[in-house]
Amino acid sequence: MDLKNQTFISFTLLGLSENPSLRLPLFSFFMGAYILCVMGNMLIFILISTQSQLHTPMYFLLSNLSVVDICFVSSTIPTLLSTLLSDERSFSFLSCIIQMFCFISFGNLENNILALMAYDRYMAICNPLRYKSSMKNSLCVVLVVISWLAAVLHSLLHTLMLNNLKYSGIKLVNHFFCEIAQVLSVSDSDTSFNFYLILTEGAVSVGVPFLCIIMSYTFILAALFHLHSTERMQKTFSTCSSHLTTVCLFYGTIASVYFRPSSSSTGLRERAATIGYTLLTPMMNPIIYGLRNNAMKKVISKVLQ
């Protein structure tokens, strides 16, 4: 990456709050939430790795989701905490690029893993007799590796394109981390192609997994209607209720940030809403799967006993 023209550039983040009296309470809250998120996802990963009854495709994908959540939340929240704890909010161009690369990679990877989990539920409900032969461990590993590669290449494309832009002086970024749209908005170069790339390639990389989720649940609902038994329908659908809750939470918070009129929100509101998918969703996933999933509850009870 050629950084010779960007050496003396620095980005100053506005952070989440300019009110000094709110910084310490906000720091305490987000620090507690961050620790809870990391510990919860680490617990899910350890339980799935050590308990043989959880060595199935569904929980293999869940363990990957936990790892991604830890990395995803760690790409932004430490920066948020530093802006609340200190008045020094300047970041070098290289630091900003690295954070942006990690944020885009793990955000896109979470999207991909959720799509794989939806496909797993589709196979388990709609093709139960072929499930074991179709969802082999080797296939699951290949699908996860492809998801990682696709997310990294997607992020690399956008960060390399941004690196070709020109910046000068100290740039004020209207966010608590180096969010790509905000960093593009302060560039001295023409960024129309970068935004076009976000609307095309970016929309495809996010839209294709989301479309897979929609299609999977469409087939699942169609299969449930053919059961002709409310009890069996509820029992079958309960196996994917945790995943569906996570999907609604993840995409719902993203939609609240990126799919609303710009005139209806201020920069501060947008920054606060971003907390939804950068911290709230990763923090809630262990709670959702720990409290709503019977197999996880049994394993947790067994370990505690």
**How does pLDDT run across 26-35, given as a tens digit for each residue?**
999 999 999 9
- pLDDT at position 298 is 81
Reported pTM: 0.89
Cα–Cα–Cα angle for 285, 278, 161, nearest 5°? 130
Residue 234: the pLDDT is 73
Residue ranges of the chain with pLDDT lower than 70? 1-8, 228-229, 232, 258-268
Closest CA to 71 of 10, 152, 141, 146: 152
pLDDT at 8: 63
Compute the distance between CA of residue 301 and CA of residue 35 in angstroms, rounded to an integer: 22
Helix axes 281-292, 241-258, angle to 10 degrees: 160
Residue 295's pLDDT is: 78
- Amino acid 4: pLDDT: 46
The pLDDT assigned to 29 comes to 94
